[in-house]
Amino acid sequence: MSSGTRVVLSVLPVMVLAGCGDGGATAKRVDASGDGDVGGTTAITPVSPATIASFEGTYALESFTLNPTACDVEGPAETSSHDMTFVIAGGPAPEPRYLGLAACSDALECADKVAAIRAGGAFSADYGLILDEELGPSLLRSGATYSGRYVDGMCTGRLWYASELARSGDQVRVETRTIPLADAPSLNKTCTSGSPTELASEAQGRACSALRAIAGRKTGPLP
């Protein structure tokens, strides 16, 4: 990916999409439907090398909450149901432009997740995210999409996911909001995403339907 451009990202948990569910996640830099790379880019501020270096490390999960029906308050805690460790690493090598967050259960799996993030490919994890926009040295953002399923000439169930990661000292907090989008006409009986600019604009003013919040603390360097 060239510097200063965004590609729609995806974070796909089992059963529920965009990292807002309670299952494993696959994060990759393509459309969430699996239909391939998303066309259309828009200028953003990529994550700087200094910010990447400052975030990289191993973290302890301190809380994991999910509100599957609203975004005005956090949902119940389900921390004990998830991996208690995650890593944050820059990718792709050799000139990283984004940060990948991936849960892992032990040092070996954590090292595997770091290698996958560095390689710039997909990685599977209990929970995960790719952050590609820097709003400040301690505030990152990303957008993701699910392009929906084809039903009678329309793409239905389309979703936009807005994520922000904020840092205070060694603490990080990630909030991911799910925003349902209106049905859209299908092209050739397939459902593909538009540009990130179009999707983000389409999501503005629409109600948020789910909120996932993850908090953790940096405990050491990468494995």
| Model confidence at 196: pLDDT above 70 | yes
| Model confidence at 57: pLDDT above 90 | yes
Q: How sure is the predictor about 43, in pLDDT bands with cuts at 50, 70 and 90?
A: low
Residues 77-95 have a mean pLDDT of 97
Q: The pTM is what?
A: 0.81
pLDDT at position 169:
98
Separation CA 86–CA 216 (nearest Å): 8
Separation CA 132–CA 192 (nearest Å): 21
pLDDT at position 193:
82
pLDDT at position 167:
98
Q: How sure is the predictor about 200, in pLDDT bands with cuts at 50, 70 and 90?
A: confident
pLDDT at position 162:
95
Per-residue pLDDT tens digits for 92-136: 999 999 999 999 999 999 999 999 999 998 899 999 999 999 999
User: pLDDT above 90 covers what percent of the chain?
Assistant: 71
Separation CA 133–CA 7 (nearest Å): 11
DSSP per-residue string spanning 27-65: EESS-TTSS-PPP---B--PPPHHHHHHH-EEEEEEEEE
Q: Show the tokens assigned to 54.
A: 């400052």
| Model confidence at 11: pLDDT above 50 | no
Per-residue pLDDT tens digits for 162-182: 999 999 999 999 999 999 999
Q: Show the tokens assigned to 173.
A: 């907090």
